[in-house]
Amino acid sequence: MVFSDGKKQNQIFYSPSVASFENKRVGELSFGTQKYFEFLLLAHMEHPFLLLDEPFSMIDPLFHNVIKNIISSKLADKGILLTDHYYNDVWQVTKRNYVLVGGSMLEVETKADLAIHGYLPGRQ
């Protein structure tokens, strides 16, 4: 994988905690660390869209803010489609939110809408 300039490469290799595994083979990394590194590579590639399937799942919670900051910084340059069960993390970086219910995609404007559509248990 080649990046067009050193700046993009540095954004990956100087990201938080990358130094702790820079001398290890990918197969030696934990699953969560592999996912974090994969996210860093994909997020910094030059393409107009980024599809992220559960970027917060199986990741050390310490990296959640790093991931949210990177996603937020890319919103001006990329279309981003994000799916994750960690809806609080997702909610912090999205402009529009949808939930799939019975094969239909429904827009949700508040977290209460998630309960209305059956994604979260209703409050009593």
What are the residue ranges of CATH 3.40.50.300 in the chain? 6-85
Cα–Cα dist 124/109, whole Å: 21
Q: Determine the CATH number of domain 6-85.
A: 3.40.50.300
Contact indicator for 67, 55 with CB cutoff of 8 Å? yes
To the nearest whole number, what is the mean pLDDT of the chain? 87
Q: End-to-end CA distance of the chain, in Å?
A: 52
Give dist(CA 62, CA 60) in Å, integer: 5
Check residues 91 and 7 and name the one with the higher pLDDT. Answer: 91
- 63-122 tens-digit pLDDT: 899 999 999 999 998 999 999 989 899 999 998 999 989 999 999 999 899 999 988 887
For a pLDDT cut of 70, what percent of the chain falls above it?
Answer: 94
